[in-house]
Structures are given as C-alpha cells and as structure tokens.
Structure 1
Amino acid sequence: MEPDSINRPEVLASLRAAFNAYEAALLRHDVAALDAFFDDDPQTVRYGVAELGYGIDAIRHYRATAAPVHPERSLRNIVIRSFGQDTGSACCEFLAPDTAMIGRQTQTWVRIAGAWRIVAAHVSLLNPEALLPS
C-alpha cells in the first residue's frame, strides 16, 4: 500500500462520522441502528466482555438482549486510521460512572456498497490497578 493512501483526510472524515454515529446509537440504545452498522455476514465477529459473537445472527441476538450502556459513557484516546478508500480501524477507551474499569473497544471497518460496516469488533474491560507503569 502506498503511504499516500493511508489516512487520507476525506476517508478519515467519513470513517469518523460512521464511528460517531455508531457511538450515538449505542448511547441511545438504538438496537436496529447498531445491528445495521455490522456487516450482514456469517463471518462478522464481535468479541464482547462476556460473549463471543460469531456471525451476524449471534451479534444481533446479543444486542437484542444486552442492557443499555450507561448514558454518561465517555470516550478517550480515540485512534482512527484508514487504509485506502474503503478500510479502516477505530480504537478507543471508554469510561462510565457505574464502573471503575477502563473499557477498550476495537473495530475494523470496511466500506461495503458505499456504507461503512464493522466486520470485526472487540470489547474488553481492564482493571486500572492492573496497569503496568509506562
């Protein structure tokens, strides 16, 4: 891949808009919108804090039964990168007042038929006391 095809401003802006729309849907617990952000494919994967979502059906089942995230959830250390016109990643940490844990979220996004879709995601929690000094 040519270096000038990485992190093109117009691609990053488009991907960031999709990422922000996903987060807004998550905060309002819009299950239909959240489902639509994931690629409708049996090979789409979402590893959650307490579940393994292999395939869009498993992801939809999880989302239909999941409790809403805390409405005051906040993001930090957001890193969004794009590779070419149609592939990117988004990584961030999240915090919520109902836990002392640090949440971590990683998403692989691909533009499919003109729309950004998540093809792989991973969510985990970290006890801040377990962090090693840097």
Structure 2
Amino acid sequence: MITVNTHNARETEALGAKIAEKLCGTEVIALFGGLGMGKTAFTRGLAGALGAGENVSSPTFALVNEYSGKYNIFHFDMYRVNTWDDLYSTGFFDYIDNGIIIIEWSENIEEALPADCIKIRISKGENDDDRIFEIEGVDLQ
C-alpha cells in the first residue's frame, strides 16, 4: 500500500493525473471516502490527464457519467446503491473490460468489486483541505 497526502484540490487532481499515467484502459478504480473527501476532484484529474476534458462532475443523480479520451471512462456513484438488484440496475457489470471504471462510494458495493481492482481509501488529514490517500493495486514509481 502507498500513502499519499494532498493539501488542496489541485494536488488531489494531480494525484489522479499521476495514476492515469499507469493505466492501460480496463481498470476498475474503487474510491472509498465520505462526503467532501475529494473523490470527484481525483476523478477530474485522472480524466483530464487521459484527454477527457475537465467537465467531470459527480454522477450522483445520473449514477454513471461517461467521458471519452485516450480510453473510455465510466464514472459511477454508488451512494444510493444498497442491494444487488440496485447494482444490476445501474448496468455496472456491462461496463467491465470496456474502459476504465471509477466508482465513488465503493463501500456500498465492495462485495462486487473485481479482485484486481485499484482501491483508494481517502480520509481527512490534519487541516480542512488535507487528504490522506491509501492506494492499493497500482505502483506509482
């Protein structure tokens, strides 16, 4: 596991961009963390680095936003997903291996995550804008 600290949204986006450099196009990235932890900022940096632009927003009501760039990116919000039926209704399993899947609120579907997914747990740091990222499944070296 790798731990990275960020101190503002710009640094969180830069971390997303750094991880984007390591991707081959079919990864599942599971983001864990509460409201305001920087999940969407991280995704904005990752998507931007892959040429998908900067119009990344949380898919809270749409459940999934799609972005095109170097790879297809499918940005899920699983906040309201509580059952297997809910998960199936999102079409989640149809997206696997068709692009990069980034999941906000992964804690709600943890049992359904692929074994080889990249897991990123985000928690609050010492100051209001500080975030601690615990990253498993990708080497940042």
Task: Give the TM interval when normalised to the shorter protein.
Answer: under 0.3
**TM-score with structure 1 setting the length:** 0.26
**TM-score with structure 2 setting the length:** 0.25
Report the structure, 1 or 2, having the larger strand content.
1
Larger radius of gyration: 1
